[in-house]
Amino acid sequence: MPIVDESGSAPTQESPVVQARQPMLSGEFALILAPLQAWSSPDGTMGTHPIHGLYCGDTRILDRSSVSVGGSIGEPISSFRSGAATGTFVALVRHLDDAAADPHLRMVRRRTLTDAGMQEAITLESALAEDVSTELVVELAADFTAMHIVRTGRSQEITLTAQQLGGTLTWSTAAAPLATEVAAATTTAQVTAAGAEIALVDNTARLRWSLNIPARGSITVEWSIEVANRGSVVAAAAGTPEWAAVVVDSDDSRLQRWVHTALADLTALRMVTTTHPVEPFLAAGAPWYFTLFGRDSLWSARMLLPLGTELAGSTLRVLAGLQGTRHDPESAEQPGKIIHELRAEPLTIPGEGLALPPLYYGTVDATLLWICLLHDAWQHGLPDDQIQTLLPHLQRALGWLREHADSDDDGFLEYIDTTGHGLANQGWKDSADAVQWRDGTLAEGPIALCEVQAYAYEAARGAAALLSHFGQPAAEWLSYAAALKARFAAAFWIEDSDGGYPAIALDGHKRPVDTLASNMGHLLGTGILTPAQSARVAQLLVSPRLNSGFGLRTLATDAAGYWSLSYHCGSVWTHDTAIAITGLTKAGFPAEAAVLAHGLLAVAEAFDYRVPELHSGDSALDFGAPVPYPAACRPQAWSAAAAVAVLAAATGVGQSGTPTSSGEPGTGAQGPDPISWDPNAGIAGTVTVRGLRVDDGGGGVSDRRGTVTVSGVGEGSVGYLGAE
């Protein structure tokens, strides 16, 4: 079949069609400080790959940034990050150097994201005996393309206004002369370059310095760009997070390095909405999901509860402020429902037939996860007065569960997109092919996912506990949970000769979809399974069909639709594996939890401890390292938060549902008992967590900081925190 371009005409041999494709991300260099992100090649250059650029919110500000010295870009030899927001790029300048074997002239380019924008300091260092005269040129190109256009690999024509005044250049989306209209412009970018000559051609600026590099010395030039995106719905979060003082030491350095990197990335992912500027949450991930996502933000905050409840409280409040109030099929809004995502403008992805409004509610699980987080945050010490302010929103969420979640009154929660351009699947696996039969046939909706029923069971019981504590009627929700558990056992469990397993979902005809998938890992620890069923699920999760050795595959290898690089049908998602690890721990299967956690530590090491959204499901027996999924976001909030979930499972910190820690700072006292691990899959060595908030002795949590130390209880062949 010939390739057809957008006009519908077949291409000629003289002009073959190049299809627009989503940019690949693996191998690119990313810095983040929400709502800013900067993507470049590893040598620091922007403009050689479609994803490159400086972004603010959902707008790309620059799409090109390059540096040349004496007409050459130099020869890159090193690049590294210092935290999440600073990168350093080192290149040799051999065309100006002498002929000796040792290099004597190099360029060090240090890029930093700030609250206002981005700045660079470029230093030329010389070990030569004589001065070197040269010129250094920075070229910048303004872009202002919407993120969803970048994501589809297309371009966008934007009319910009530019003004140059001395050493300052300003680009703006204002249509009228800048001097009178800049204050009304949606987006502005102001470039400052002290000592540089600035030349402007269309949307490209050329910053030029004439330099003399002193013998055995150095010289530095600096430029910066300040960005204002007045149309954005998100902004930077103020202050420092509650985990800022947390430090982990482990005999297995992989754990402490993963947690260290993850906490730095999570700090940089903190943002607020412009309507709730004092309620931080975590952006879902860079680059595509740099905004508020209900499910992602809730799961991330839930995984971070062992380190405190502040993020959980603010995440609950900002989502409560956007809770549905009406019926709107176009946005999937329903009274009491929690949002799926928030953006500044509609999201359109033509190749996927997707067109979502700026505030979209197409998620079947976020409302349930909101209730679960409220309960868990309360158990971890969120003060009663904060809980009480959210009780009306809890009642509205329960109203959604009672009146809207079950569209056909069969006792299960299901979803279906009625617009034709919304999300076809509305669980966490939301790609169009995510729910399929073992033979590869797509399941027809409405779809009732297995994990959603488990979330509903857990949410109902958690809500009952909260309501009872605050003197409100709770019996309805205990009865609801008991009835749901009985219905689930009858409808979802598929018997086979090996002991059975839970279906991934029920289809629109109420048939159990027979694919073996990672969704079952979310059932563990919720209480919806019997002990025997939990044991069978634990066995399956570590079987070669699902366990890749680098985490849990989303789909079993014996399914017809399995492909190791499928987004939701064979790849490995770190957060998905971490949820299974937490569930295995709660359900009493530490050996199986250890097997999966060991795989994630290998993944963290392979990706330099900035774990991506997902990676290939290829077996560790066939590949020496996890294969990247080329378009995976990195960092991703719940992938980073998974480091804390693994830490909590290993140490017992925050696992008992009590405040994070107790005891005097530095004494080594601890609150929750660490998990009793099977010696054959035990902790190798000692893990120490410092900087935890401590119990104030009166049922609350103080600002004092404590330390938890857990010593290893075994040196088994599968080390949970240690090496083999």
Do the beta carbons of residue 477 and residue 398 sit within 8 Å? yes
What does the pLDDT read at residue 88?
98
Cβ(55)–Cβ(61) below 8 Å: yes
The predicted structure's pLDDT at residue 494: 97
Provide the pLDDT for residue 653. Answer: 76
- How many residues does the structure list for the chain? 724
Q: Which residues contact 150 (CB under 8 A, 6 or more apart)?
A: 23, 50, 51, 53, 60, 287
CB atoms within 10 A of CB 95: 13
Burial class of residue 704, CB neighbours in 10 A (0-12, 13-18, 19+): middle
pLDDT, position 686:
81
Beta bridge partners of 79: 89
Q: Which domains does the chain have, with CATH numbers?
A: 29-232 (2.70.98.50), 235-651 (1.50.10.10)
Structure token digits, residue 59: 């707008």
CA distance 556 to 281: 34
Which residue in the block uniquely carries the two structure tokens 């499901």?
Answer: 617
Task: Name residue 341's beta-bridge partners.
Answer: 293, 360
Measured in Å, how far apart are the chain's first and last C-alpha atoms? 52
Q: Which of 638, 650, 641, 536 is nearest to 593 (CA)?
A: 650
CA distances from 377 to 302, 305, 316 (A): 8, 7, 10
CA atoms of 295 and 53, how far apart (whole Å): 28
- What are the average pLDDT values for consecutive 10-residue runs of the chain, which has 724 residues? 37 54 94 98 97 95 97 95 97 95 97 97 97 98 92 86 86 56 66 94 93 98 94 94 94 93 98 96 97 98 97 98 97 98 90 90 98 97 97 98 96 96 96 96 97 98 98 97 98 94 98 98 98 97 98 98 98 98 95 94 97 98 97 97 94 54 27 36 66 58 59 32 27
Pick from 570, 640, 527: which is nearest to 299 by CA? 640
**Spatial CB neighbours of 187, under 8 Å, sequence gap ≥ 6:** 56, 59, 61, 144, 172, 173, 227, 228, 229, 230, 231
CB atoms under 10 Å from CB of 345, counted, come to: 14
Distance CA 338, CA 371 (A): 10
Are 653 and 668 within 8 A, CB to CB?
A: no
Beta bridge partners of 689: 248, 708
Q: Which residue has the tokens 């017992």?
A: 652
Residues 6+ apart with CB under 8 A from 329: 418, 419
> What does the DSSP 8-state code read for residue 447?
B
> What would you measure as the largest C-alpha separation in the chain, in angstroms?
85
Q: Which two tokens stand for residue 254?
A: 């992989």
d(CA 604, CA 628): 12
Tokens of 470: 């605050």
| C-alpha closest to that of 438 among 603, 539, 559 | 559
Give the separation between CA 158 and CA 156, rounded to whole angstroms: 6
The dihedral through the CA atoms of 146, 149, 153, 159 has a sign that is: negative
Question: Of 597, 685, 663, 628, nearest to 26 (Cα)?
Answer: 628
Contact residues for 345 (Cβ-Cβ < 8 A; gap 6+):
58, 146, 231, 358
Confidence at residue 704, expressed as pLDDT on a 0 to 100 scale: 52
What is the pLDDT, as a whole number, of residue 471?
A: 97
- Is the Cβ–Cβ distance between 657 and 380 less than 8 Å? yes
Strands 29-33 and 686-695: unpaired
Residue 706's nearest CA partner among 723, 718, 722, 694 is 694
